[in-house]
Amino acid sequence: MEANSNQNAGGLALEVDGLVKSYGDYRALDGVSMAVRPGRIVGLLGPNGAGKSTLIRIVMGILGADAGQVLVNGAPWTRDALRNVGYLPEERGLYKDMKVGEQAMYFAKLHGMSKQEAVLALRGWFERLEVDGWWDKKVEDLSKGMAQKVQFICAVVHQPKVLILDEPLSGFDPVNARRIVEEIRRLAASGTAVLLSTHDMSRVEALCDEVLLLNKGKIVMAGESEALRESGWHGEYAVTYCGSDVAFARGLGASSILGDVDRPDDPSEAPTRAERTALITLRSGFKLSDTLAGVADAVDIVEVRKLRPTMQELFIQAVSTENTESNA
């Protein structure tokens, strides 16, 4: 989702340029460059040990880099700029003996909010994420999910211009994970640049505008999720139809290569009415609409789907290609 330019006015773009970081002899980041523009949600993906946390810690100024730099709107990142940043670390933790409201106020003030601003913003967030009855309760009495929500609120209460989230959905049940996804999208729509790491591939497509795939300290795939999926598509469609297989194949004629056909397991289903799904690949020079018109004369078409690879499939493909090449 591209936020409009008015909302982006005053937004911050985060860039890293040529980051290198070694732990002893091990190079955890090997020349990583990337950018997150205002209003965009960029997913940092990669297998365990790829270097995601190292990258995030360098961006947050917790770790120093051996080479390369972190830039905000083209200028080197300073400690002052951290006031405009929200950060949800992977290791979660709230001060257990503090009350929930007290804790949230502490984080809000840390980010430069006045008491009045903080109370107003926090009341709104608490209501929206349904933790409003918890203001005066002790942190130690919160369930894990509630504590996660409070921590998320602490990271975003000051409406950060750059938001860094390390595994933001871990620990949430599906319903609350969806709420958090909605809130991340809302922040991006208001112009926040969001960088998040996740290994939850099933959510990447719904959540991220762009992805960066890190493997062994290097970026091996980067781009808009939709464009990456489109470029990994090899012309396959899944066509679900009712009717005879022979008639379907005849209807295709020379237009397509017919792949697997899924038939219902239950033989008691009427052989001519049961739905089947065939994979077809159009031959060059043939149009889908003409092909479907030919097939529709022979069988009833129920559904046609373009079979683009999922982000998970692209991820596995890119990591295994890279690993094979580096082993060779």
Rounded Cα distance between 162 and 156, Å, is: 10
- Kindly state the helix (H) or strand (E) to which residue 179 belongs, with its residue range: helix 174-189
Residue 255's closest CA among 299, 293, 287?
287
Burial code (b: 16+ CB inside 10 Å, e: under 16) for 138-158 equals ebeebeeebbbbbbbbbbbbb
Binding mask 84-123 for ligand ADP (x = CB under 6 A): ----------------------------------------
Please tell me the count of residues contacting ligand ADP according to CB under 6 A: 11
- At closest approach, how far in Å is the CB of 312 from ligand ADP? 17
- In the list 9, 23, 64, 75, the residue contacting ligand ADP (rule: CB under 6 A) is 23
- At closest approach, how far in Å is the CB of 176 from ligand ADP? 24
On whether the CB atoms of residues 58 and 21 are closer than 8 A, the answer is yes
Is residue 28 a contact point for ligand ADP (CB under 6 A)? Answer: yes
Which is nearer to ligand ADP, 49 or 235 (by Cβ)? Answer: 49
Binding mask 34-63 for ligand ADP (x = CB under 6 A): ------------x-xxxxxxx---------
Rounded Cα distance between 2 and 11, Å, is: 13
Instruction: Tell me the three state secondary structure of residue 13.
Output: coil
> Per CB under 6 A, which region of 23-31, 179-187, 273-281, 294-302 contacts ligand ADP?
23-31
Question: Cα-Cα-Cα-Cα dihedral of 313, 317, 319, 320, to 10°?
Answer: 130
- At closest approach, how far in Å is the CB of 326 from ligand ADP? 14
- At closest approach, how far in Å is the CB of 52 from ligand ADP? 4
Which is nearer to ligand ADP, 24 or 174 (by Cβ)? Answer: 24
Q: How far is CA 299 from CA 239, 249, 258, in A?
A: 11, 10, 15
Q: List contacts with ligand ADP (CB under 6 A).
A: 23, 26, 28, 46, 48-54
